[in-house]
Structure 1
Amino acid sequence: MASPVPLNLFPLLHAIGNTPAVCLTQDIPGDEPASLLLLGCGDVRHILFTSYMNSSSEPRSLDYTCCDSQPAVIARNVLLLTLVVDNNEGVDVSILWDIYYHLFVDDKSLSVLESQVNKLYRLSTSLRHWHKTKYGRFLRFCDSKTLALVRDVWYSYIHVSDKAAYTTSFRNAIQTCLDVKAVASGSGIDLSGVRSAAPNGVQALKDIPSLHARYWKNGTTSSGSKAANVHPNPTLAPLENGSSLLHYATDPLLGFHLVTAYTPVEPESPFYREQTAHANAQNAVETARLQFNTWCQAFKSDHKSVTVRFFAGEALTFCHTMQHLEATKETSANLFRSFYQFDIFSLDGEDYALNGVAPLAFDVIDTSNLIDFLGGINLFIATSPLLRKKASSTLYAESLVKYVPDVDVLLEDLFAGHFPTLSILLGVFPIQYWTNASAVANSEEQLMLDLHKSPTGHGLNTRNMYNRTLWKYQSPIWLDSPEGSSCPLIKFEPDNLALVLFGIYLKMFMNEDVKLILANPNREMIQRNSCIRYHRGSFARFLSFIKSRVIADWDRTISTLITLIEKDKILVVGQNFLHELYSQLHILGVYSDPAFAKELKYDRTTNDFRAWKKLPELVSITVEIPRAKLSIFTKIPRVKLGKPYMNGFVQSKQMVWQSLFAVVQLGFGRIIASGERSNDSFAVTIVEDHSGWKGKSPLIISFVVPSAILLAEPDSTTVGMSLYHTPTTALAFANTLGVELIVFASDLGNESSVYVSKQRPNNAVIPRISKPSSFGEEPEKIPASSYHVTLTAIIDVEKKIIDGFTAHIAFLAEEAKECLKRQNVIELRQISACSLCLIIERQSLEIVINFPAPVQRANKSRTIRIARTPPVAEIMITYIRFSWTIEGSQWHGTFHTLIPTDCLFWIPIV
């Protein structure tokens, strides 16, 4: 997988969104069709609200692609959208609210739900059949497996073996949710819902917490008797064979704009309500219901111009597969669908076939708050190549994290390094950061923070702070420039680039810096270093991405970088992960360890993999872990387990050496081996047990290793599964599992537990990851011009960051050369935050230089260097420096003057 794999014993079902709905098209032109990618899509509030905001007599075409790791989320969404479209067939709209949001429903709601689900189940026998139905014309599935997974969820809604036991189990699950909440959030009053009443959240301080408590107590948002609502809502109940638990912060009201419940509204507004005898608290509920009904009606009216596509699986897998499809026309990159499935994902839906209509480039990409879990580097190398190359194209990233007083600390944590350097390398432009401005107020975040800090704030729980950031391409063609040039690729001296990349490497794995942790072992440091977002595979993908984004002697760069990593003494277990780093770099074609090219000498007369006619550089190890070994996790109370991450390992019995592998695949089931182990065609098939943690099957772990390490001491080598070292994992398991945190170990030659094969399980060949398309322009590919511009990065060697740029301008045309030779006046003018114009001989020659960040120039004598022979000019420039603090998620920087055209970059399009 593209990110570390957690032992997800008790996954949380994120069925209902916990932030107010946003219009997904607010930052793109309103008169053009748009394709939108929603990762970690959650519920449909953003889609419904966007439909309302785009309502018109001539609605534009909107094509959504929705990805969520939980099929149960997608099953709910398809159910609701089909009910919305069908509601002219006599369905009471209020019933849709109850079905989608209530924990318990009445007889009528359950009857409507079951009737609709039975219909959907009948229509979903195959992808081809579904796409021919009236629903399939606008609700599409990206692949057949997603449809099958969703259909299984629908089946669970209508086939309950023991309803009494089911109801008891559901009520127990609700109590477990409350127990988990008490441990995770404390017993204080939760104020996070106040942001849904912005900008008048202060009026909702009393109501929102009480409504949240009532919802979890009664299971509904209604104020009347709950006697009629006796049936568990199957769309929010744990699946019979699953272990998911409804997220403890679930609250139907948080996805709506509750300000109209506390602020006078004009009678002409569709959200005007007659004042009732209800208390303000219930007015908030009725306000949310009214908005839900209005948004649903808008979607129903315009649904013929809307397409919603669904994929169930990991977001990074989905994005990398779409990149691969765009580059190669192959529908599979040989990636597994999710952390706990040995299912090779393929975009086998007809819309992704050759000449298919599904978009592979998007005007809008919304990533929810995946950045909190996946990290900025993983997320942006997967998503940014999918952004359509237009000035208006926008990528959104949300963060819901604990309050951090210094925004640089937050950004360096999320992006594993110096934020300006990372944004420059990633090729995307963080609008609020660089413009020091936002069109959206987040004053409620400051309100919650102030209340928490007040003398009476000890009983309040703010839990997290909300930030929504938007990103666009670096230096888009927004300028009225003579050449209309975009930002060129950045040139680096190879040793300097290696140093910058090494600095990022150290930041990505700073949780392995024991000295850093022990220097300040407070609770915040422990929690921060226990959230793992990257493994060596992540770093390898990052290098593959960067390789296509820079101009440098790559062989020298990577050689220098590898030397720095091999000699590193800061990361305690860094040496243990070297073989994994070599493996992942080799897979991606970034670097091949010289050891891979060496001829290996070993005994070929054995009855195992050593007898293969051709031993590849990399092999797959699959290990079966007995169920009994998992009791260490299942016996720990749910609220105390935490989130341990899994490693595979290969080591000598005497622990003289050990290699760790965090790029692993997990799943439950049984292993079927085909062929002789000594035969090259030996393969491993896994018959999955979908009962997972509730079943009885062993856990299976698979990972790729260099074959050479298995030949070092084959008769005294052990392999198995261990936990990745973090402060919280060590505290929880070191006494039981030992310092190495080994869950299970077996001899390499143990044929009942260990399988070595050329391919990964289920004949999955080594993943094929296509190189991302370039963002900038290479000088030799720029159309013929009177000059060439090359940007070279200036590096702060001590800090290992990009400190500025040198723009080298080579004059090619004779006329341009003559202008320079005449020694006329040369002027440097700033025409936008990211662009300078070099004006020679009173505008007889104008050269626009675009930079990947806002720049500031010193006086001309220190900025410009001119050489007449050969005719070249160099402009040395630094980017704007800010001194940031964070207050209620508002970024306040030093003074930065914006040129008027820059403002168009971040103001929403009305």
Structure 2
Amino acid sequence: MISSTVLITKSFYYPLGNTPPVSLAQDLPPEQDADILLLGCGDARNILFSCFVDNARRMDVTCCDIEPGIQARNVLLYSLLIDDKLNLNVDRIWNIYYHWSLDDDSVELLETQIEKLLQHSKSIDEWHNSVYGSTIRFCDEASLSRVRDYWMHFSSKSLTPSEENHRVGKLKAARERALAYRNQRMKGNIDVTSPLRSTLPVLNTDCCFDFSEVYNHWWAKGTVPMSAELAQKMVHLNPTFFYSQTEVLILHYGTSPLLGFPLSTAQAPISEGSAFHLPKRGLSSIDHLVECAKRHFTVWALSFRIAAANKLIIRIFTGDALAFCFALCSHKRSVAAGKKDNWFHTNFNCSIINLHVDQDSKVKPAPVNFDVIDTSNIADTLGALNLMSLGSILLKHHASSSLYTETLLQYHSSIVGRFSNMLCADVRTMPLLLGFVLPDLYTNATNSVEEDYVMGKLRKGSGELVTNKRSRLRWKRSAGFQDANNSVFGHIELEAEALAKFLVAVHNEMFKYDDITWLSSFKKRGTSNFWREVIMSGTFARYNRASFAFLLTALKCNVISDWDLCVECIYRKIFSSHPSESLMTNSAQDLILNMHLFGVDNGRFIKPSSRDVEDAVLAPILPLNEGLPDQLCVTIRVSRMDLNKTILKKSLEELGCRALVVNFEGSEPGHVHWVNFFSAVQIMFGKWCKAGEENNSYPFIEEDSAQLPGSSDMYVSVLVPTFMLLYSKSKVPLVKVGFLLHAGNQLDLGEELGPTLCFASRKMTSKDVFITRYMPGTSSLPNFAFVTNSKESKSNSNVTTLRLSDDGLKVESLTRRVSLQNDSVAKAKLALRTSEVKVNFKSPFLAVANIAKSLNIELKFPAPVSMSKFRVRIARKSSYIEVETPLLNADEADAANFMFPLFVAKVPSGLKIPMPWSAMRINLDAMPPLDVSNKESISWMIYFFSGMLPHPKKQLRESDATYNVRSSLKKLLLGLFVHFVGLDDVEVQTIFGLSTQNLGIQTLIFASNLRLDLANLSVVLDAAVIPLSHEMLGTEEMSKFLSQLSRSGLLRILNVSDEQNVSWKVLLPAMVERCRASNTWKHTPRCEYLKVGEIPLPIGLDEVGKSSICSCGIGKCFPANYLKESKNKLSELDTILNLHATRAAIGPIFAVPYVEETFDFFGNSEFNQPVVKEKCENCGKSEKKISPGGPTEETLKKCSKCRAVKYCSRECQKTDWSKHKPVCKGN
């Protein structure tokens, strides 16, 4: 509906994922169950991996994919894993899911399992009552039916020999088509850099050869590993890779079995005792790579069964992602009204979505709103703006709720340009209007290197046209920090004309390539990337006029404005700024109809009247027996003969996939010729059959699943205004079917199809034209009206007024007003002119107005704002206070420590807990620890940690306060990592003391392990942290321990400035909360965060010897053998950990490349310099090394007593003695 219908001539099948898995619930607190929606879910890797990192959480995952084969494979896999309770069949299950060639044993298991599935899938109720039904459920009967059809074709049982030969022949033909296309596109080589996604954070380009060999062997033999003996046994084609109902579906040429695994475990040294420790033991690097992938699969299989026992639910839907979202949006209201949703499963079939409703009250109802929505990379084809519009309705209003969008196809060298292209508007403004914010845009901080940046740098200079770059973005609810049970969430108010100006610019960007007048000068238009975008926008046509209308529907839920005036301004500006013959103007009726259907506007829409029917040439054939509907459905039959004579004269490969439109043309004596284009098209292949009364709906009861390559006619349906059909009084208008009149299509097909690009034309009175009240197969309109518009007024304190820039394209400022009309005490105090009003910001989200030094009023902003550039307006008579301020820029001084903020927020159960806004949770115990003793095997860490350094251009900005604060904190973290690992000939240390010049040691850090962060393609330091307090230092056990520690020589003092110390204390709560998992510890009702309502604890920042973190996690859930070596040397350490230490996940902090240009560690000359230089303990003067490990120009002298610290001179040693003396082991 809100994306154009594409005539599919070729479609790719993606049975295996080509990007590393993601942890689906890593944004959610452990106390919260997870309702998750996966759109374009693809293979099973994300669910399996999420079960591995978070198997104690109850997850309800709804999986939508348009290909039934994907879902058939996934359910087959889940059922095999459920049945394999002892993990005895894991090798055969691996073969079935990852090999396209099978041995006899694997085929036997496949056939046996398919027989089970078919036995349980005769109806949806029978399936739900089966052994698999408690874990795997189907959203509707049609999804089960489609999946079951694939299962039937996966099996050869009960087939006659001739039927089996026919089946095998079709599978072989499908394999040959895939091989031929792969050889044409890839020429035998996999993309050089893409496999490195799966090995991050390890950056070892040598492994690309191994991935390439695996890829070539898999395509040649159908198996991994590389054993020739194994390949000889694999003689059966795996139908799960090659069966399809239509020949247009081809196994994607880039499919490779290992790309969906986090294979840094194959490149990094994993410690013994980890499940991922896999010694090579004579294996080749290729076989070792494969074995590491199989180890992941084995561990995932075990975790999946544990999660299933914890009531994991996986719900299956086969169909279009946007249509499914519409059905979810309207489902509650449709069920309450006793109506059908009437959304089609896809744009190219006649099946209606009828979501299943469980009658058993004991069964958890299927969710229609979600905590997490992950859209994979379908934004490339369906449009990010469409997904965010629907996501704004489907995503729950919780602080932890997240919407993920991902793109792989890129056409802009500029990241800023990519963002504008993705959302058709400013990246801050459009999300805010929809109720979203992009946290990283405000924090400029992330725990992982941006994958897109690394891949781009590797490709740079190679001459390759960069279009395949993964960019994954996480959108959070604006004002999501408010109570989860609050029904109002920070609505935006905007003047109607300003809003209209902004939306017109969005409209023009959405349809910028509809104007083909510039084709004559296209050679001047720019780069090949520009033209790839032009062509792709014609192929996929992400947006149509229904998209724009629905965008406004979504905006009306969150934006308060005079919408009638706004829509009138939009019409006026769009229709007056384009020539009358342009597609922009010819699509006016399409736009107005969809604005009417979605309830955005009724002002311009012309409702038909009985007078219009008089003398209308089409009146006799219109279905008007039940009154005059606002719209009617027109369906055109395009015969197979017509298809063969026109578009099918080309091969399907030459024709390509292109968006369809339906055109109506007419003219009257003395009137101007008129043309109207409609783009919300539904196509179907099959036989037109009557059902019901004359002039009523006619469903397709015989559908040809072969579609375009088949032998059936094509039917094209579209809703149009009834008034348009009544307009013609003398001449019968024409209806035409053609391709979108778009620049790319015009270049390719203009000569053959003419300037209109039409391939079928009929008079409206033709027997090939059918006019019905509703779309074929339906008895009513789809449920368009399923959202509630925002009705709050400016006086409501939950409303934020937004002011746009002069050009109307981006946010200039936000204004929050608090009205005191209903608070008599506050109103009286404000009315007194002697009452002073002061406003201070406690965070970029929260301002506090203090009245007369006695009354505090909070003003919450929906997105981070500047804490220094605000203006205050006080209306003593009208009794309100307003604060106006711009959005926060990440390089402002206000944002120096705004990296991983936390809030106290409610979870759905009503429990209040700390909630990270941007830090992602990690299960430390699930992450493999690294063996850092072999320095050669960890040399990649130099590259990785260097990514924390600021770009050289930014280093020149010494006056930049934000840079100085963040840079110093990153250098502190860099020191921790480098000293723990022992990089660059630095002495290995595991116990650190953060010490300020005036106050001495403030924090003790006991580093246990450096672990791979498989979920974020990074690393994390697993550590116990003790913020030292005056009370703690006064205890006997701590005094005794510090004495023992100082004598041991194990303590490494890291000198920090006061600013660094504050930054550390601000960061520490996020590091602690990150690793709080379901099986570790919980915040208690006495939690200090809950008492003060702030994180970090203000007393920890303001007073010496106070902690910035709560005490809830002290001594909790340290694993067995935690810090075993240190405990052997420090007898009191175990006691100290239990009494005072909290576990923390200390990750590197990287800048976000779409905010700040990051360090180029591939091409920067500074890259070959030491990461951390030894420094004088007192003044900080560095040793100057000529080369890593080489001689020095200036050698620092070690303390003669402990030899643990160094000084540049005797004077510095004397100066530092008072501070060093307590910890000097030789003293």
Normalising by structure 2, what TM-score?
Answer: 0.68
Note if contact 2:375-2:405 (Cα within 8 Å) is conserved in structure 1.
yes
Map 1:106-125; keep pairs closer than 5 Å. 106-125=103-122
What's the offset of the Cα at 1:173? 3.5
CA distance in 1, matches of 2:317, 2:401: 22
Note if contact 2:409-2:468 (Cα within 8 Å) is conserved in structure 1.
yes
Amino acid at match of 2:801: T
User: Alignment partner of 1:559: what SS?
Assistant: helix
Note if contact 1:492-1:552 (Cα within 8 Å) is conserved in structure 2.
yes
Are the structure 2 counterparts of residues 642 and 853 from structure 1 closer, same or farther at C-alpha, using a change threshold of 3 Å?
A: farther
Look up the match of 2:6. 6
What's the offset of the Cα at 1:284? 0.9
User: Alignment partner of 1:254: what SS?
Assistant: coil
Note if contact 1:62-1:307 (Cα within 8 Å) is conserved in structure 2.
yes
Matched, 1:580 2:602: no
CA distance in 2, matches of 1:112, 1:204: 33
The sequence identity of aligned pairs, in percent, is 28
Amino acid at match of 1:669: G
Amino acid at match of 2:177: T
Matched, 1:623 2:620: no
Are the structure 2 counterparts of residues 201 and 221 from structure 1 closer, same or farther at C-alpha, using a change threshold of 3 Å?
A: farther
Look up the match of 2:264. 259
Look up the match of 1:208. 211
Matched, 1:499 2:501: yes
CA distance in 2, matches of 1:513, 1:197: 44
Matched, 1:141 2:138: yes
Question: 603, 607, 610: which one pairs with 2:615?
Answer: 603
CA distance in 2, matches of 1:810, 1:378: 36
Are the structure 2 counterparts of residues 798 and 462 from structure 1 closer, same or farther at C-alpha, using a change threshold of 3 Å?
A: closer
What's the offset of the Cα at 1:179? 4.6
CA distance in 1, matches of 2:667, 2:254: 46
What's the offset of the Cα at 1:378? 0.8
Amino acid at match of 2:896: T
Matched, 1:223 2:226: yes
Question: 277, 280, 286: which one pairs with 1:281?
Answer: 286
Amino acid at match of 1:277: G
Deviation per residue, 1:737-784 (Å, 9 max, x gap): 111000111111011x1001112111342211233357x8935896xx
CA distance in 2, matches of 1:589, 1:514: 31
Amino acid at match of 1:450: K
Larger RCO (CA within 8 A; separation ≥ 6): 1
CA distance in 1, matches of 2:391, 2:900: 27
Question: 684, 691, 694: which one pairs with 1:667?
Answer: 684
Are the structure 2 counterparts of residues 789 and 673 from structure 1 closer, same or farther at C-alpha, using a change threshold of 3 Å?
A: closer
Matched, 1:749 2:765: yes
CA distance in 1, matches of 2:861, 2:232: 65
Look up the match of 1:449. 456
Matched, 1:716 2:728: no
Look up the match of 1:48. 48
Amino acid at match of 2:402: T
Look up the match of 2:476. 472
Note if contact 2:62-2:315 (Cα within 8 Å) is conserved in structure 1.
yes
What's the offset of the Cα at 1:85? 1.2
Deviation per residue, 1:857-905 (Å, 9 max, x gap): 5556xx122232233333222113479xxxxxxxxx9994344772531
User: Alignment partner of 2:886: what SS?
Assistant: strand
CA distance in 1, matches of 2:411, 2:245: 38
Note if contact 1:367-1:398 (Cα within 8 Å) is conserved in structure 2.
yes
In the comparison of the two structures, how many residue pairs are matched?
Answer: 880
Are the structure 2 counterparts of residues 567 and 792 from structure 1 closer, same or farther at C-alpha, using a change threshold of 3 Å?
A: same
Matched, 1:702 2:717: yes
Deviation per residue, 1:410-439 (Å, 9 max, x gap): 111111122211111110121222222223
Amino acid at match of 2:493: K
> Which sits farther off after the overlay, 597-606 or 831-840?
597-606
CA distance in 1, matches of 2:542, 2:860: 33
> Which sits farther off after the overlay, 699-708 or 157-166?
157-166
Amino acid at match of 1:838: A
Amino acid at match of 1:811: L
Task: Report the aligned-residue RMSD.
Answer: 3.0
Look up the match of 2:913. none
Look up the match of 1:890. none
CA distance in 1, matches of 2:626, 2:365: 45
Note if contact 1:673-1:684 (Cα within 8 Å) is conserved in structure 2.
yes
Structure 1 segments unaligned to the other structure (5+ residues): 783-787, 884-892
CA distance in 1, matches of 2:704, 2:360: 29
Matched, 1:562 2:564: no
Map 1:808-827; keep pairs closer than 5 Å. 808-812=817-821, 813-820=823-830, 821-827=832-838
User: Alignment partner of 1:469: what SS?
Assistant: strand
CA distance in 1, matches of 2:780, 2:487: 42
CA distance in 1, matches of 2:575, 2:551: 18
Matched, 1:15 2:47: no
Note if contact 1:238-1:244 (Cα within 8 Å) is conserved in structure 2.
no
Look up the match of 1:897. 896
Deviation per residue, 1:542-572 (Å, 9 max, x gap): 1111122122122222122222222131793
Note if contact 1:626-1:698 (Cα within 8 Å) is conserved in structure 2.
yes
Look up the match of 2:1068. none
User: Alignment partner of 1:154: what SS?
Assistant: helix
Normalising by structure 1, what TM-score?
Answer: 0.91
Note if contact 1:177-1:246 (Cα within 8 Å) is conserved in structure 2.
yes
User: Alignment partner of 2:350: what SS?
Assistant: strand
What's the offset of the Cα at 1:248? 1.4
Question: 878, 893, 908: which one pairs with 1:870?
Answer: 878
Deviation per residue, 1:185-234 (Å, 9 max, x gap): 67765121111011113242321222212211221112112222121110
Are the structure 2 counterparts of residues 372 and 845 from structure 1 closer, same or farther at C-alpha, using a change threshold of 3 Å?
A: farther
What's the offset of the Cα at 1:9? 2.0
User: Alignment partner of 1:79: what SS?
Assistant: helix
Deviation per residue, 1:160-195 (Å, 9 max, x gap): 755555555544534533554566667765121111
Look up the match of 2:1141. none
What's the offset of the Cα at 1:475? 2.0
CA distance in 1, matches of 2:651, 2:894: 52
Look up the match of 1:67. 64
Note if contact 2:616-2:728 (Cα within 8 Å) is conserved in structure 1.
no
Amino acid at match of 2:23: C
User: Alignment partner of 1:669: what SS?
Assistant: strand
Deviation per residue, 1:72-125 (Å, 9 max, x gap): 111001111111111248852111111001111112111211111122112111
CA distance in 1, matches of 2:347, 2:613: 36
Question: 269, 273, 283: which one pairs with 2:274?
Answer: 269
Amino acid at match of 1:94: D
Amino acid at match of 2:444: N
Amino acid at match of 1:474: S
Look up the match of 1:840. 851
What's the offset of the Cα at 1:54? 1.9
Are the structure 2 counterparts of residues 560 and 82 from structure 1 closer, same or farther at C-alpha, using a change threshold of 3 Å?
A: same
Are the structure 2 counterparts of residues 89 and 636 from structure 1 closer, same or farther at C-alpha, using a change threshold of 3 Å?
A: farther
Are the structure 2 counterparts of residues 634 and 236 from structure 1 closer, same or farther at C-alpha, using a change threshold of 3 Å?
A: farther
Matched, 1:312 2:325: no
User: Alignment partner of 1:413: what SS?
Assistant: helix
What's the offset of the Cα at 1:14? 1.7
> Which sits farther off after the overlay, 724-733 or 156-165?
156-165
Are the structure 2 counterparts of residues 671 and 165 from structure 1 closer, same or farther at C-alpha, using a change threshold of 3 Å?
A: closer
What's the offset of the Cα at 1:464? 1.0
User: Alignment partner of 2:708: what SS?
Assistant: helix
Map 1:841-860; keep pairs closer than 5 Å. 841-842=852-853, 844-857=854-867
CA distance in 2, matches of 1:594, 1:726: 26
Look up the match of 2:742. 726
Matched, 1:650 2:664: yes
Matched, 1:427 2:444: no
Deviation per residue, 1:141-163 (Å, 9 max, x gap): 11111111111111111247555
What's the offset of the Cα at 1:450? 2.9
Amino acid at match of 2:638: I
Look up the match of 1:173. 174
User: Alignment partner of 2:325: what SS?
Assistant: helix
